[in-house]
Amino acid sequence: MKRIGVLTSGGDAPGMNAAVRAVARSAMSAGLEVVAIRKGYSGLLNNNMFLMEPKSVSDILHRGGTFLQTARCLEFKEEAGVLKGVENAKKMGIEGLVVIGGDGSFRGARDLSLHGIPTIGVPATIDNDISCTEYCIGYDTALDTAKDAIDRIRDTCRSHERCSIIEVMGHGAGYIAATIAVACGAEAAIVPEREYDLNEIIENIKKGKKNGKEFNLIVVSEGICDVIAMAKKIEDETGIETRATILGHIQRGGSPTVRDRVTATRMGIHAVELLKKGIGNRVVAVKRDEIVDYDILEGLNMKKDFDDEFVRVAKMLSM
C-alpha cells in the first residue's frame, strides 16, 4: 500500500483533528502518502481531496471541530454512490481509507471495504453511543463543556432560588445526561433508557424546599420531552420559579480534552497499523483502556448495556 485517504463524517466531535493528525503523520512516518478528503463521503464523490504534507496537520491537535469539515452524505447510502466513491478513490490512487465518525459512517466504510478499498472506522461522537467501544472520541470534551455550562447555571439558579431544567445532547442515548448529572450534583437525570416519574421528581423538589433546599438542577437527555413545558409544570406544582436551558451545539465545539486528544491519537495510529498490514473492514474501539478492533458488521451489531448506576447515584445524593 502506497497511498491512503482520510475523512471525517457525520456530526463533528472534538478530537477529530487529533485523529486526522495521527493518521496522517503515522502513515507518513511509515512512508505512505496521505490524501485528505474534505466534507466526508461527499468529498469522495465530488473529488474534493488533496495530497497532504506533514505540515498540512500542523496546529490542529488542540482545535475543536474538524478542519477537513464533515457532512452526512445521503448519496453514499446508495449502491451507485458507493461505486462512484470507489472509482474516484482508485483514480486518486487511494488504496486504503480511514473514516472518522459515527456508526452511520461505518456502514459506508464497510461498503467500501467490500468493494475493494480496505477501510477502517474510528469512532468519534460526543454521544458515546457506538456499541462496540467503551469510548468515542469527543465524549469527554462534551462532558466537560456541559459541566462548565451547568456550573454557571447553578450559580444563577442558586442566587434566585430557582429550579433549572437542562437539556443535553445524546441522540437517543443517556450517557451524557447520566454522567453529567452526577458530575454537577443534579437532583435527577432523565434518560431515554429508563422510565421516569415527573410526579416523583416534583414531590422530591417540594420535600427539598421544606427542608431548606435552595435550588434544584434536573438534567434531561434530548428528545424525551419538551423541557420548556416540563419547567412550567414544575413551577406550577411547586411554586418555585423554574427555567429550561437547552445546551445544544455548544456541546459539540471546543478544544479537545487530554483524554480526547490521546484517545484520538491512539486510535488513528491503530487504524494506520491495520491498513499497513492490508487489513480493512475493521472498526477501532476501546476495551478496558486497550485499543482493539472488530469486524465492522460485528461491531455494528454489538449491544452496549446502559448502566443506570449514575441515574441512581444522582437521585440518592440529592437531599
- Cα dihedral: 248, 166, 303, 311 (round 10): 160
Q: How far is the CB of 19 from ligand F6P (least distance, A)?
A: 16
Q: How far is the CB of 317 from ligand F6P (least distance, A)?
A: 26
Q: Active-site residue 127, yes or no? A: yes
Helix segments in the chain, DSSP class H: 16-29, 41-45, 79-91, 103-114, 139-160, 175-183, 198-210, 227-238, 258-276, 296-301, 309-317
**If binding means CB under 6 A, how many residues of this protein chain bind ligand F6P?**
9
Q: Which of 282, 298, 266 is nearest to 119 (CA)?
A: 282
Q: How far is the CB of 129 from ligand F6P (least distance, A)?
A: 8
Q: DSSP string of 190-251?
A: E-TTS---HHHHHHHHHHHHHTT---EEEEEETTSS-HHHHHHHHHHHH---EEEEE-GGGG
Among 3, 84, 147, 171, binds ligand F6P (CB under 6 A): 171
Q: Any contact of residue 188 with ligand F6P (CB under 6 A)?
A: no
Among 5, 11, 108, 121, binds ligand F6P (CB under 6 A): 11
Q: Any contact of residue 252 with ligand F6P (CB under 6 A)?
A: yes
Binding piece for ligand F6P, criterion CB under 6 A, among 85-93, 158-166, 169-177, 199-207: 169-177
CA–CA separation, 176 vs 170, rounded Å?
Answer: 6
Q: How far is the CB of 127 from ligand F6P (least distance, A)?
A: 5
Among 66, 125, 133, 245, binds ligand F6P (CB under 6 A): 125
Q: Any contact of residue 169 with ligand F6P (CB under 6 A)?
A: yes
When the beta carbons of 250 and 262 are compared against ligand F6P, the nearer one is 250
Q: Any contact of residue 284 with ligand F6P (CB under 6 A)?
A: no
When the beta carbons of 223 and 239 are compared against ligand F6P, the nearer one is 223
Residues ≥6 apart with Cβ < 8 Å to 85: 41, 44, 45, 76, 108, 112
C-alpha cell belonging to residue 235: 413551577
When the beta carbons of 33 and 127 are compared against ligand F6P, the nearer one is 127
When the beta carbons of 223 and 278 are compared against ligand F6P, the nearer one is 223
CA–CA separation, 226 vs 37, rounded Å?
Answer: 39
CA distances from 45 to 36, 40, 56 (A): 13, 9, 22
Residues ≥6 apart with Cβ < 8 Å to 174: 189, 191, 192, 193, 194, 221, 306, 311
Which residue has its beta carbon closest to ligand F6P?
A: 169
When the beta carbons of 192 and 280 are compared against ligand F6P, the nearer one is 192
Catalytic residue, candidates 127, 129, 140, 293: 127
Among 103, 127, 167, 260, binds ligand F6P (CB under 6 A): 127
Can you say whether the dihedral through the CA atoms of 114, 119, 120, 121 is positive or negative? negative
Which positions touch ligand F6P (CB under 6 A)?
11, 125-127, 169-171, 222, 252
Active site residues: 127
